[in-house]
């Protein structure tokens, strides 16, 4: 019978050194992460060298910071662990930034929806310069399909050869909440205001119109579209109560650079109540 070297530990002894369980050691072996230093050919007992504890702790560190086991295996087989941890640090940092954005959003939502009665500090007067717009209207539009309407309008503009900018307006002919049956107008900002369009190429729902210079009370919303309507209703009631405008319409101003962000907390929309 072969004598086991004195510098080798049984799986139970090794687990104690690593402050873990034999089950975890076996799991890492099954995943190809930590092979025994020696396996007894007769009884199949597994033995580990004390130096392997450093490898175990590195693997555990990476796993505790949510590094996928596949990535850990890649690090062991090719990349250095330092490079893999650098990748994970970047991932963790992105998660932290996202949670900070979520925290700031929830604080603002709480203040606006529940804590504040005077909403004047949330509304800023902004002036929108005159623009030439390519528009499509949707007579019985639905709020949850507005993105679909915008994409359809963009598709028609491209078909007509109309170059448009990276922002657009969405007008509602009534300010009051009507999610399933409302007149919605999507208006793309034309890059060339003097561009001539053949009227025969336009359907009855498409037209060009000039947006005059407009002053409006504006709330800059940054966050998931899911909660957009909550703020709109709250602000709409406030605008009426304070007699800030006599206008019956409202519009949203979308900043489309947001599509380059993976964070829904970067989505930026301005809720606008025109001043008459």
Phi, then psi, of 123 in degrees rounded to 5? -105, 130
> Span 205-231, mean pLDDT?
90
Burial (CB count <10 Å: 0-12, 13-18, 19+), residue 90:
exposed
- Residue 218's closest CA among 155, 169, 165? 169
CB 114 within 8 A of CB 108: no
pLDDT at 1: 44
pLDDT at 260: 58
Give percent of the chain with pLDDT exceeding 90: 44
What is the pTM assigned to this prediction?
Answer: 0.69
Q: In the predicted model, what is the mean pLDDT of the chain?
A: 87
Quote the CA–CA distance of 98 and 232 in Å, as a whole number: 24
User: Which string of b and e fits 230-261 if b means at least 16 CB within 10 Å?
Assistant: ebbebbbebbeeeebbeeebbbbbbbeebeee
Instruction: Quote the percentage of the chain above a pLDDT of 70.
Output: 95
pLDDT at 261: 67
Domains of the chain with bracketed CATH: 8-84 (1.10.1660.10), 120-274 (3.20.80.10)
pLDDT of residue 118: 84
For residue range 43-69, what is the model confidence (pLDDT) as tens digits? Answer: 889 999 998 998 898 888 888 877 888
């Amino acid at each position: 019978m072969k004598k086991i070297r004195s510098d080798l530990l049984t799986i139970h002894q090794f687990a104690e050194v690593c402050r873990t369980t034999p089950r975890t050691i076996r799991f890492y072996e099954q995943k190809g992460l930590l092979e025994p230093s020696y396996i007894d050919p007769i009884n199949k007992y597994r033995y580990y060298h004390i130096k392997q504890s450093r490898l175990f702790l590195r693997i555990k560190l990476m796993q505790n910071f949510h590094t996928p086991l596949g990535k850990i295996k890649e690090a062991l087989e090719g990349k250095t662990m330092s490079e893999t941890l650098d990748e994970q640090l970047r991932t963790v940092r992105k998660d932290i930034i996202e949670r900070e954005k979520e925290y700031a959003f929830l604080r603002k939502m709480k203040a606006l929806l529940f804590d504040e009665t005077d909403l004047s500090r949330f509304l800023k007067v902004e002036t929108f310069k005159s623009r030439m717009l390519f528009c499509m209207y949707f007579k019985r539009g639905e709020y949850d399909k507005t993105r679909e309407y915008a994409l359809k309008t963009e598709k028609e503009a491209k078909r007509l050869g109309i170059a448009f900018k990276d922002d657009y307006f969405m007008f509602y002919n009534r300010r009051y909440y009507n999610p399933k049956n409302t007149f919605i107008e999507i208006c793309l900002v034309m890059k060339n205001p003097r561009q001539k369009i053949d009227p025969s190429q336009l359907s009855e729902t498409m037209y060009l119109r000039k947006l005059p210079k407009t002053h409006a009370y504006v709330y800059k919303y940054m966050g998931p579209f899911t909660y957009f309507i909550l703020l709109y209703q709250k602000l709409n009631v406030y605008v009426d109560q304070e007699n800030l405008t006599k206008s019956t319409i409202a519009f949203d101003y979308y900043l489309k650079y947001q599509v380059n962000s993976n964070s829904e907390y970067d989505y930026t929309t301005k809720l606008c109540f025109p001043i008459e």
